[in-house]
Structure 1
Amino acid sequence: MTVRAIRGAISLDVDERQHLHDRTRELVSAIMRDNALTTDDVISAIFTVTPDIVSDFPAAAAREMGFGAVPLMCAQEIPVPGALPRIVRVMMHVDTERAREDVAHVYLGDAVALRRDLAQ
């Protein structure tokens, strides 16, 4: 197996705990599905949020999905003027046989604008 980093992001409509959890689960589920992963394949994940998200930690939603044994971390993005609001990002480190060019990075909602070159 090889360690690969998988990027992803999703936008929120509002900063509310349940919405944050729903959208985080949507993002994580899409990354897992599109890369044929199980939680055993995930080494760690780093979540970041824009400064306007304060309702909860995205890692809490991942733990509810069965990522309790996976090291998870949350941090805040740099508040760059003009940046997209209400964005949750993740970088997952995984064990996979996929070549770097075959890794599926997932950008959903308004977050597609962040990396059109990586979004599917």
Structure 2
Amino acid sequence: MRVVSVRGAITVENNTKQEIILNTKTLLENIIKKNDIKITDIISIIFSVTDDLDEAYPAVAAREIGLTYCSLLCLQEMKVKNSLRKCIRVLLLFNSELKQNQVKHIYLKDAVKLRPDLA
């Protein structure tokens, strides 16, 4: 088994606790399902959010879906002019038999603009 990483992102319409948590759950559930990840194989998740999202930590969503033993960290995304707003990004590290080039990165809603090469 090796450690591989998967990236993903999703946007929210409003800066509310409910939207941040709900959309983060949607993103994580998609990443886990599309990559056939066992919860116990997740090592850590780093979340970053744009500076216009400050009503909730995305890590709360991870705990609510049962990710209780992996390490979680929330950061503020670097501010870049004209960049995508109201965006939650994820970097998830997990143990897997997959090779890095077999991982399915997940970009939802307006975040698909971040990786047009994957569309």
| Structure 1: 4+ residue segments shifted above 4 A | none
Summarize deviations over 1:54-102 as a string: whole Å, max 9, x none: 0000001111111111100000011111001000000000101112211
SS of 2:29's equivalent in the other structure is: helix
Q: CA deviation at 1:118?
A: 3.3
Gaps of 5+ in 2: none
Q: CA deviation at 1:116?
A: 1.6
SS of 2:33's equivalent in the other structure is: helix
SS of 1:75's equivalent in the other structure is: strand
Q: Look up the equivalent residue of 1:17 and give its one-letter code.
A: K
Q: How does 1:52-67 map to 2 (within 5 A)?
A: 52-67=52-67
Task: Say if 2:93 is the partner of 1:93.
Answer: yes
SS of 1:66's equivalent in the other structure is: coil
TM-score (norm 2): 0.97
Structure 1 Cα separation of the partners of residues 27 and 41 of structure 2: 17
TM-score (norm 1): 0.96
Structure 2 Cα separation of the partners of residues 62 and 56 of structure 1: 12
Please give the root-mean-square deviation of Cα atoms over the aligned residues, in Å.
Answer: 0.8
Structure 2 Cα separation of the partners of residues 99 and 80 of structure 1: 32
Q: Look up the equivalent residue of 2:87 and give its one-letter code.
A: I
Percent sequence identity is 39
Gaps of 5+ in 1: none
Aligned length: 119
Q: How does 1:37-48 map to 2 (within 5 A)?
A: 37-48=37-48
Structure 2 Cα separation of the partners of residues 75 and 92 of structure 1: 14
Q: Look up the equivalent residue of 2:30 and give its one-letter code.
A: A
Structure 2 Cα separation of the partners of residues 37 and 72 of structure 1: 17
